[in-house]
Amino acid sequence: MLKLQVHGIVQAVGFRPFVHRIAVKNHLTGYIANVGDHVEIAVQGIPEDIEQFLRDLKNKKPPISEIDRIEKEVCPNENFDTFEVIKSQKKEGGESIIPPDIAICDECLEELFTPSDNRYLYPFINCTHCGPRFTIIEEMPYDREKTSMKSFPLCGFCQKEYTDIVNRRYHAEPVCCPEQGPHYTMSVEEAAHLLDQGKVVAVKGLGGFHIACLIDDSVVLRVRDLLNRPQQPFALMARDIESVRKLAYTSRQEEELLQSWMRPIVVLRKRKPLQGAAPLLHTIGIMLPYAPVHHLIFHYCASDVFVMTSANFPGNPMIIDNEIAERELPFADAFLYHNLEIVNRCDDSVIRNGLFIRRSRGFVPKGIPISHSKTVLAVGGELNNTFCITKGGKAFLSQHIGDTSNYDTLLFQKEAINHFIRLLALDWEDIDVIVCDLHPQYNTRKQAEDFSQMYGIPVKMVQHHFAHAYGLMAEHQKEMIVIAADGAGYGLDGNVWGGEILFRSERLGHLEYVPILGGDLATKWPERMLLSYLEREIPGRRYSKQEQQVLLNQLKKERILTSSTGRFLDGMAAFLGVCYERTYEGEPAMKLESLALKGKNLDVEMEVEGNQMMVKDFVKRIVDVKAPKKDIAKTAHTALGRAYIELLSNFNDMHLPVGFSGGVAYNEIIAKVLQKEAQKRGLEFYVHRLVPPGDGGTSFGQVASING
C-alpha cells in the first residue's frame, strides 16, 4: 500500500471526489480523507496502475487546486474492497490552507437561471467549483460543521447531492437550497428596481457590505457626501465584459483577469469621462459580478453598471454585521442583507497594470513561497495594512485590514491574526519572532510589543523602506538595488524617508531632505510642501500672500525633514492646481499622473550631487518654465525617474538588477522611465507581481527580512 500526504490547496476545491474518480478509473482500492490541513490518500493495486494514478493526480487535478508537495510512504497492505472517501481526521502540523472565495462557476450560473432547477434564482447557489470558502471558515479541517454554514442543516435534496460521489456538489460544504439554506430578508428583485430608480442600496455579499447605486452624477454625489468620500474613486460593477468595454479600454490580459474566478477590481483607462465615479483621474476600477446575488441584481435591472463600493467610512473596517450596517448606514434607502454569518470580512482585490493595489478576495489566503522555514508573524505598518504569517516555507498574507491608526481596525487585525493562527494549525508558542515597523508611534508596533509581552516572543523592528526592498527581492529570489519610493516611512536617522535607493542593509542614496511644513498638515495640504521646496512666495495659489509669509516664517523653524517622493509629487500637484487638499491616500500624485499622461517631456533635468537628488533646485527651476501644465507634469515625472537611475548607477559597479517598490511604483510614467533608463544601461528591472508594492505588501517584506 502506498500512503500519500498531499499538501497545498487540496480542501474545498473538489479534490476528494477527483481522487476517488481517478482511483476507481485505475482499479485501485483504499481511501482519501481530509487530515488537519492536508489530505491523506492510501492506494492499493498493481504498480502500473498506481503509477498512472500518480500521473493523473498531478496532471488532471481540479483547476483551482494546487499541490505543493506529496510525501510518500510504503505501508503493509490492508483489506480494502473499494476506494472510499472517509471522515475527516484532526491532525496537527502542516502548512496547507483553504482556497479563497471563488466566483460563481458557469454550471451554477446556468442552473441559477434554469426555471426547472431546484436552485432557480437562489442567491446562495454553489458547488465544489465555486462559492464562499475563506469568508465562512472557522477552523480546519474544512468541513461544514467548522463553517458558518453549520447553522443551516442539509435538507434531503442537498444531502443526496452532498453524499453522491459523482455529483458536482459532493462534499461541497456550503451546499444549500431555498428549503433550508440562507436567505435574503428582502427580495433581490425589489432591491434591483430601487437601484434603477436611483436609490442607494446596502448589499451584503460574500465578504461584507457594499453600497450600490447608479453611476449618475447626482446619485454618486449624494453617496460621496453620505460616506464622507468627496473625491475618492468608486469601483464600478458592470453586467458583462461588453459593458466594461463601453466604459474603458481593455487589454486581453485585463479581460482575462476580469473574467477569472478571482474576479478582482481591475483599474482600467477610461473610455468615458465618469467624473462622478473617479474625479480628475484617467482610470476607473471595474469588476464583474462574482456572487449569485450580483447576477440576480443585473437580471432584474435595466442598468448595465452600478457603483459598488465598500460600505464603510474612511479608516473603518468593512461592515459585516446586519445590525451594525443599519446603525452605521442610516442613509441607505434599502438593505439587501442575508442571515449567513461572515466569519472573515474580505474586501475586493484591486489590480492595476498587473500590480496589486489590494490583495484580498480571490487571493487570500493563498501562500507565497519564501526562502526560510521559520514561523514568523509580521504586523505590517499603518495605512492599507496587512499582516503576514510564515510557516513551512510559505508566507500567508492576510486580507486587506486597513488603517490601523483607527482603533476598530486595529482590533480587527488582532482578531484576524488569531484566526489565521488557528487556520494554520499554530499556537502562539510556535511563533519564533514577531516583526514590526520601526516607527515608534505606530499602533501595530505597540500591538507587536503587547503580543511579545503576553507570549514571550522576541520582537524585531524593520525600517519601512527596507521592508519594501526585502519583499521585492523575496518575490523574485534575486539580489538587487531597490528604489523604494512612497509618501512616508520612519527613517533610521529619525527623519521621514520616502525616496530611497537601498542595497542589502545600506542606504545608498535618496531625495534631498526638505522640511515638512507643519508636519502631518503638509500631507493634507500639498501647497505646504510646494512652499518647502521653493522657500519663497508664489502668487496665484490658494494661500494668500499673508498666509504664505506666515508659513515661510514657520518653515525656518521646522526640524522634521523628509526625502519623500510622494511629498515631491504632492508639491507639484499643488503648483499645477490639480489638488490643494488630499482627501484620500495618494490623491495629489494620482491626479498629477493623470494630467502628465497627456503631456510631453521638456527635458528639464533633476541634478544629482553626491548621494542625493537635488529636488529643491529642480522645483525652483520648473516653476519658472512657461509651458502647458500637462508638459510640466510630464517633465517632473521624467526628471525624477532619470535622476533615480543616474544616482543608482553611481553605486552599481556590479550591474545588479534594479527593483522598484513602494506606493509610487503604481505610477505608470515613473515606472516606465525607470525601466527604460535601467535597460539602456543593460540592467534588469523588476517590480512586484505577488504582493502590493505599497503598504499592503510591507508585512511580506517584514517576514522576508528574517534569515533562515
State pLDDT tens for residues 365-383.
999 999 999 999 999 999 9
CB 698 within 8 A of CB 382: no
Q: Which residue has the cell 545600506?
A: 506
Between CA 343 and CA 422 the distance in angstroms is: 13
Per-residue pLDDT at 62: 87
Per-residue pLDDT at 92: 52
Query: Do both 228 and 335 map to the same domain?
Result: yes
In-domain check, residue 581: yes
Query: Do both 512 and 593 map to the same domain?
Result: yes
Per-residue pLDDT at 296: 98
pLDDT greater than 80 at residue 559: yes
Per-residue pLDDT at 90: 62
Can you give the CATH number for the domain in which 11 is found? 3.30.70.100
Query: Do both 528 and 631 map to the same domain?
Result: yes
Can you give the CATH number for the domain in which 136 is found? 3.90.870.30
Query: Do both 211 and 322 map to the same domain?
Result: yes
In-domain check, residue 153: yes
C-alpha cell at 242: 461588453
3-class SS shares of the chain: helix, strand, coil, % to 5: 35, 20, 45
In-domain check, residue 360: no
Query: Do both 179 and 202 map to the same domain?
Result: no
pLDDT category, 312, cuts 50, 70, 90?
A: confident
Tally Cβ neighbours within 10 Å of residue 446.
15
Average pLDDT over residues 431-459: 98
pLDDT greater than 70 at residue 93: no
C-alpha cell at 665: 511604483
Can you give the CATH number for the domain in which 599 is found? 3.30.420.40
Residues 155-186 have pLDDT tens digits of 999 999 999 988 999 889 999 999 999 999 99
pLDDT greater than 90 at residue 315: no
Burial class (CB in 10 A: 0-12, 13-18, 19+), 407: exposed
In-domain check, residue 639: yes
Query: Do both 650 and 569 map to the same domain?
Result: yes
Average pLDDT over residues 266-276: 96
Per-residue pLDDT at 505: 93
Of 298, 324, 351, the residue at which a domain comes to its end is: 351
Query: Do both 550 and 649 map to the same domain?
Result: yes
Residues 402-421 have pLDDT tens digits of 999 999 999 999 999 999 99
Of 351, 380, 397, the residue at which a domain comes to its end is: 351
Query: Do both 490 and 556 map to the same domain?
Result: yes
Domain interval for residue 453? 365-472+696-704
pLDDT greater than 90 at residue 541: no
CB 489 within 8 A of CB 498: yes
Per-residue pLDDT at 219: 95
Q: Which pTM does this prediction carry?
A: 0.93
Query: Do both 372 and 466 map to the same domain?
Result: yes
Backbone phi, psi, residue 454, to 5°: -70, -40
In-domain check, residue 658: yes
Query: Do both 506 and 584 map to the same domain?
Result: yes
Give the chain's count of helices (H) and strands (E): 22, 30
Of 28, 56, 85, the residue at which a domain comes to its end is: 85
Query: Do both 433 and 459 map to the same domain?
Result: yes
Report CA-CA distances (Å) from 94 to 102, 344, 382, 457.
23, 22, 31, 21
In-domain check, residue 92: no
Burial class (CB in 10 A: 0-12, 13-18, 19+), 682: exposed
pLDDT category, 91, cuts 50, 70, 90?
A: low
Mean pLDDT score across all residues of the chain: 94
Between CA 267 and CA 495 the distance in angstroms is: 34
Residues 593-642 have pLDDT tens digits of 999 999 999 999 999 999 999 999 999 999 999 999 999 999 999 999 99
In-domain check, residue 357: no
Query: Do both 510 and 430 map to the same domain?
Result: no
In-domain check, residue 690: no
Domain count, the chain: 5
